[in-house]
Structure 1
Amino acid sequence: MATVSFHLKEPKADKPTAIFAFLSFDGRRVKVYSGLSVHPKQWIKADQRAKVRGYASNGKLNDSLELLEKKLLAYYGEQRALGLLPTSEALRILALPEEVEAPTQAALTFWDYFNEWIALTRDRGKVRTAQTYATALRHLREFQEAKGYAVDFDTITPIFGDRYTAYLLTTAGLTDNTIEKMVSRLKRFMKYAADRGFHTNASYQKLNWRRQEPDIMTLTAEEVAALEALDLPAGGYLDNARMLFLLSCYTGLRYSDLVSIRSEHVRGHMLRITTQKTRETVSIPLQARALLIVTRYLAGGVRLITNQKLNFYLKQLGQLAGIDSPLEVVRYKGGERLNSTVPKWEKLGCHTGRRTFVTLSLERGLRPELVMKITGHRDWKSFKRYVNITEQAVEREFAKVYEMPEPLLKTTK
């Protein structure tokens, strides 16, 4: 349902000021200027209309506001009947005076629609997803400027795909997996636009770039224990970061969900929360260690910090905990395998906690479908990216089955 409210641009001014409308719908609010003005002393805020008694000319002004309200609501109704949402630009066009020739909706450009898609994603509460879309838009703009290729709905073709991915690989210097993300986000936008009738070009479906599955980095049970055992000043910045990270290791929550926990989400020994990324409602059993942190968190004993700061502090924690086993880092550029070796703590990040939860839960005997239920994964393809069966787990399970001698176990650790 949509509603219209009228307001003054400068309600405390001592001269006529502009009147604008807010059209509120589907969690959004669009500001539309009416092209009319009135002196604040002649405005009745409660009625959202101008005074008529003593100001006969204000009758026509109120009639114009009434007409604008009907036009905005009618247009909203027409768009929703088509399964669409009205665009900000189209709503503003409705407010233009009749004698002004209004531009058609076709005047909106590819870039306008892309920005609107980003704004709509942000308005739906998916802030981090909107940021990734904004990054994809930036790469497209930079490609157009650098290569002189006119990016538009009709020019997103396989030829464009060849030139764009070559640019991302060479000029932008992106890895294969990042290029695949840029291509996927563009295709997602093109589908969104096609579903709403903004274009009829189906060639975008042929855009493709091969994703190279990266190695999954998780912590072992011993490394998690080393973090737990660190002697840190209580309440200090590293202790605070450790609690946030360990809570992810114990629950499988993403960073965006960790910082969204509220008291109403806790039901005894269960945490029931709707995830920020997928809007999936998950129920997570809280083991004793997790419940202790959640209780402290809700009491204000855990401070929220940014994703970037947490990643920075985690590297310090990993170094202090001796999580320094050699880690081979593999990247692919144009199908070429590039690898380097770094101490494991250098690659510690927020998402390591979620992957660690998945891997350790499987190692300890939880069935995959139960773990997927807790983490909110809907299919095995996406879930398997979080699974990293460690060498220690392979060794332990192999020993159980084949009765490996104890001395051999010790020498191979």
Structure 2
Amino acid sequence: MILKEHFDHVFERVAKVSSFFEVYDRFTEEKIKLKEWSKSTKKRYKNIKNLLEEFQEVKNYKLTFAKINKKFFIEFTDFCYEYKDHYTNTFSRNVGLFKTFMFWSVKNGYAFNEAFKDFKKPQRVLTRQEALTMDHVKKLHAYNCATISQAKSKDVFVFQCLTGLRYGELELVNKRIITADDCLFLKESKDHSKPAREIPLYKIALEILQKYDYELPLSTNQEQNRVIKVILRDMGYTHEVEFSRNKGVDQNRFVKPFCDRISTHTARRTFVTILRNAGVADKIIMSITGHRDIKTFNMYHQISASNTVKTVNRVFAGL
């Protein structure tokens, strides 16, 4: 029996014979039925399947468990970076998701080939992101938009800047979760193991909620991103900003107007940056945003040039 298992391992015989993508479908079906994945996770694994199917066609590389080896990883890396134009962070995330599937396949007897364990997931690169200042938020709140739909998008974005909520969490906001102390009592949407968060509602945030009878006028994330860019462009925030993207060791630099670098997630980053620059303790901010990992939390803090100049000038003022 031991000898048979040895030969099964050497010749990569599997206990359950199925095609690569049949097993992938069983993997996703199990995770979905066990309610282990959020909506965004389901979408990511669906995208990985599409990516692998496209890789198979473009590279003419028939995917089987026996062929998940060093050659596969070389070709897949080239496909992602060169053909799909993915950057390091996207590639790193996809490699991690793929390896999760492979570990499941081995554990469940669909594969014995463990060459995938040597696939190196590149370290994620911190890309410069933009954040609004308190002055930006004030001007945006006071700005008269050209249309009613723009005004609604503006209000939603300002509300995010003042609460630090993810865009997907805004649909959970209603009158029933507002406490007597004017706080949102919100259960974590991405990780249900996290405790509920109490999010103080600054008076402007509360006024926005009251304006829409406690149901924010939400559109799709994509549409909200588009409209916010248009509003900021109309406000004149078109100065150029530089950022970089990495593909392995290669770094590409890009220049875009400030308004085009703003998205719904900028609002959450803005909230963290404003509070941190004001000297609020990390522990307090993290209790509001729901961050548990300080490394991830630090990625949300964007150091502004004006604050840096003020700090340096204050230090050297005695010279």
Unaligned runs of 5+ in 1: 1-103, 406-413
Distance 1:353 1:122, change over 3 A: farther
Q: Which residue does the alignment assign to 1:227? A: 140
Q: In structure 1, which of residues 326, 349, 355 is the aligned counterpart of residue 240 of structure 2?
A: 326
What aligned pairs does 1:310-321 form with structure 2 within 5 A after superposition?
A: 310-321=224-235
1:111 aligned onto 2:14: no
Q: In structure 1, which of residues 131, 138, 150 is the aligned counterpart of residue 43 of structure 2?
A: 131
Q: Is the CA contact 1:253–1:375 (under 8 Å) kept in the aligned structure 2?
A: yes
Q: Deviations over 1:266-296 (max 9, x none)?
A: 2232212223323333222222222222333
1:271 aligned onto 2:184: yes
Higher relative contact order (CA 8 A, sep 6+): 2
Distance 1:111 1:253, change over 3 A: same
C-alpha distance in 2 between matches for 1:404 and 1:316? 45
| 2:16 partner SS | helix
Q: Which residue does the alignment assign to 2:219? A: 305
Q: Deviations over 1:314-355 (max 9, x none)?
A: 111111222222210312234222112121001111111111
C-alpha distance in 2 between matches for 1:327 and 1:297? 35
Q: Which residue does the alignment assign to 1:335? A: 249
What aligned pairs does 1:241-390 form with structure 2 within 5 A after superposition?
A: 241-268=153-180, 269-279=182-192, 280=194, 281-300=196-215, 302-390=216-304
Question: How many residue pairs get matched?
Answer: 300
C-alpha distance in 1 between matches for 2:274 and 2:162? 10
1:168 aligned onto 2:83: no
Distance 1:353 1:197, change over 3 A: farther
C-alpha distance in 2 between matches for 1:105 and 1:291? 59
C-alpha distance in 2 between matches for 1:117 and 1:265? 36
Q: Which residue does the alignment assign to 1:75? A: none
Q: Of Structure 1 and Structure 2, which has the larger fraction of its residues in helix?
A: 2
Distance 1:215 1:402, change over 3 A: same
Q: Is the CA contact 2:15–2:110 (under 8 Å) kept in the aligned structure 1?
A: no
Q: TM-score, normalised by structure 2?
A: 0.84
Q: Of Structure 1 and Structure 2, which has the larger fraction of its residues in strand?
A: 1
Deviation at 1:230, TM superposition (A): 0.6
Q: Is the CA contact 2:164–2:268 (under 8 Å) kept in the aligned structure 1?
A: yes
What aligned pairs does 1:202-221 form with structure 2 within 5 A after superposition?
A: 202-210=114-122, 211-221=124-134
Distance 1:363 1:120, change over 3 A: farther
Unaligned runs of 5+ in 2: 1-13
| 1:106 partner SS | coil
Deviation at 1:372, TM superposition (A): 1.8
C-alpha distance in 1 between matches for 2:32 and 2:238? 39
Q: TM-score, normalised by structure 1?
A: 0.66
| 1:218 partner SS | coil
Distance 1:122 1:313, change over 3 A: farther
Q: In structure 1, which of residues 191, 196, 208 is the aligned counterpart of residue 103 of structure 2?
A: 191
